[in-house]
Amino acid sequence: MTPAQIIVLATPVFLLMIGVEFLVGLKRGRNTYRLNDAINSIGLGIMSQLVGLFSALFTVWLYVLVFTHASLWQLPVDAWWVWVVGLVFYDFCYYWHHRLGHTVALFWAAHVVHHQSEDYNLSTALRQTGSGWVGGWLFYLPMAVLGFPPLVFGVVALVDLLYQYWVHTQQIGKLGWFDRWFCAPSNHRVHHAVNDKYLDKNYGGIFILWDRLFGSFIEEDDREKIVYGTRGPLRSWNPVWANLQNYADMLKDSWHATGWADKLRVWFKHPGWRPADVAARFPKPAFDISRVERYDPPMSPAAQWLAVALFVALLAATSVLLWNAHLMSLPQQLSAALGVIGGLCVVGWVSERGPSLSLSRQR
């Protein structure tokens, strides 16, 4: 069974858990969902899986290449301890991948997609980047060098990813001793915050122990209301622009910078860093958390029904594509993937232009 097929089988479970969380939120009077945001987040997850059909070929090839020709030794795939140590070591590598994904602009441009939602719920967990392959593979090559077989790497990577789904919720409070050792909803809520107090904290995937060891842990404070999103808000439901916005911003700053060193620093300094001359000529307002307003263009009932119907059709098409991708030629995969991505852009357009749809019919 391929990784894409495993995701297809997991999708009904993901959607069921989203439904349960939504109903729990309604019962408690603490609903954390908006239709437009949830559709956009899940749509970005779809787009990430479609891009993964092609980018995985590169990352797997590179891992196998290093494992075959540069590993210090090759560990036995049938030894239980290789799987256990492999999972722990993968999570350690993920911690540094995740940490640099918040502190190096080039890596943040890929990871930012996951943080763009201004809500925090299980649909946010599905909101994944389409450009993580740009540099993400680099952080896991130590596993290949130390001889963890490609099968072990692939399985523990999937386990680490699936584990992180459940922590994206506001409906589960603190869990006592569990929070001290593992990534849990309380710890991960902090990670998605833009509050000064919480910024760039709690990077662990499965284990929060790494944050405690390397000084990036902070406990959720019930007195500090968490504000979700990014300090450079997306303000769009277009999934392609969601993936490209930060790259475009850095490209403009790099182009406008007068010094060659600054042109490079734009890509490798902390996210948000800008050359002094560029900041002076093209100023941006300072982040003010008291003025943060969620992006929420109104949708008419007709627009909501149209967006949902189209989205369900695209989700079904994606499931068929991912399940049968290994039987299709590369041109067939590419054309089908582009068709679904184009459809997701239409869903985003409908979500942004909702009122105009109903007005045009009234005329």
Question: Which pLDDT belongs to residue 246?
Answer: 96
Question: Which pLDDT belongs to residue 362?
Answer: 43
Q: What angle do CA 102, 106, 107 make, to 5 degrees?
A: 45
pLDDT in tens, 58-69: 999 999 999 999
DSSP 96-143: HHHHHHHHSHHHHHHHHHHH--SS-SHHHHT---S-GGGTGGGGGHHH
Do 41 and 117 touch, CB atoms closer than 8 A? yes
Task: Indicate whether 353 pLDDT > 70.
Answer: yes
Task: Indicate whether 360 pLDDT > 60.
Answer: no
Task: Indicate whether 186 pLDDT > 80.
Answer: yes
Question: Which pLDDT belongs to residue 355?
Answer: 67
Question: Which pLDDT belongs to residue 56?
Answer: 87
Portion of the chain with pLDDT greater than 70, in percent: 97
Give the C-alpha separation, 90 to 159, whole Å: 10
More confidently predicted of 290 and 16 = 16
Angstrom CA distances, 97 to 11, 119, 199, 206, 259, stand at 26, 24, 17, 14, 29
Question: Which pLDDT belongs to residue 358?
Answer: 57
Angstrom CA distances, 340 to 40, 155, 334, 337, stand at 14, 27, 10, 5
* SS3 call for 245: helix
Query: Encoding tokens for residue 251?
Result: 């490209």
* pLDDT confidence bin for 357, thresholds 50/70/90: low
Give the C-alpha separation, 12 to 18, whole Å: 10
Mean pLDDT over each residue of the chain, to the nearest integer: 94
Question: Which pLDDT belongs to residue 356?
Answer: 64
Query: Encoding tokens for residue 85?
Result: 């140590």
Question: Which pLDDT belongs to residue 135?
Answer: 86
Q: Which amino acid is at 263?
A: K
Do 263 and 257 touch, CB atoms closer than 8 A? yes
* Residue 244 burial by Cβ neighbours in a 10 Å radius (0-12, 13-18, 19+): middle
Phi-psi region of 98 (alpha: psi -120 to 50; beta: other; left: phi over 0): alpha
DSSP 26-87: HHHT-----HHHHHHHHHHHHHHHHHHHHHHHHHHHHHHHHHHHH-S----TT-HHHHHHHH
pLDDT in tens, 122-146: 999 999 999 988 888 999 999 999 9
DSSP 157: H
Question: Which pLDDT belongs to residue 4?
Answer: 86
pLDDT in tens, 240-280: 999 999 999 999 999 999 999 999 999 999 999 999 999 99
**Cβ neighbours of residue 60 under 8 Å, at least 6 residues apart?**
150, 154
Instruction: Over range 3-11, report the average pLDDT.
Output: 91
pLDDT in tens, 14-66: 999 999 999 999 999 999 999 999 999 999 999 999 999 999 889 999 999 99
Question: Which pLDDT belongs to residue 309?
Answer: 97
* pLDDT confidence bin for 363, thresholds 50/70/90: very low
Give the C-alpha separation, 343 to 50, whole Å: 13
Task: Indicate whether 7 pLDDT > 60.
Answer: yes
